[in-house]
Amino acid sequence: MVKQCYDEGIVVGEIVAIDSTAIDAYERKKPKSRQNNENATWGAKFDSFGNKLTWFGYKIHLAVDAYSELPVALEVILAHVNDGDMGPSLVENIAFQGFMDKVNFIVEVGVMTN
């Protein structure tokens, strides 16, 4: 579907923004010591004021075309996975699609630390 939008000029593919956001789970919360890394896990990050935010659930990592604001790649992962581990895989996903030749990426600090 992304290629079809690209072919029709809806997705431009010149500038792609990458970021993530938390997704709360609606299952019973488990202590960190009992997490099995198969279901929802505890995640934590710092907001722009340095306050630590925690949640139980997942994270969605999105690569979004900056012009159309449509997603061109996404991954849903457990909450405890570091953002820096996911940025490169989203970039590889876009490269694997093979039709966006020259892409500039805008990323949040920490997304492309590897």
Domain positions in the chain: 2-26+41-107
Strand partners, 107: 18
pTM for this structure? 0.77
Highest mean pLDDT, choosing among 12-16, 41-45, 97-101: 41-45
What six digits make up the tokens of 24? 């709360």
CB 42 within 8 A of CB 57: no
Rounded distance between C-alpha atoms, residue 84 and residue 67, angstroms: 24
Which range among 17-26, 31-40, 103-112 has the greatest average pLDDT?
17-26
In the predicted structure, residue 32 carries a pLDDT above the cut 80: no
Q: Which pLDDT score is estimated for 58?
A: 94
- pLDDT tens, residue by residue, 98-114: 766 777 787 765 544 44
How far is CA 79 from its chain centroid? 11
Token output for 57 = 């659930």
Model pLDDT for residues 73-102, shown as the tens digit of each residue: 999 999 998 888 888 888 888 888 776 677
pLDDT at 38: 76
pLDDT of 48 strictly over 50: yes
Average pLDDT, the chain: 83
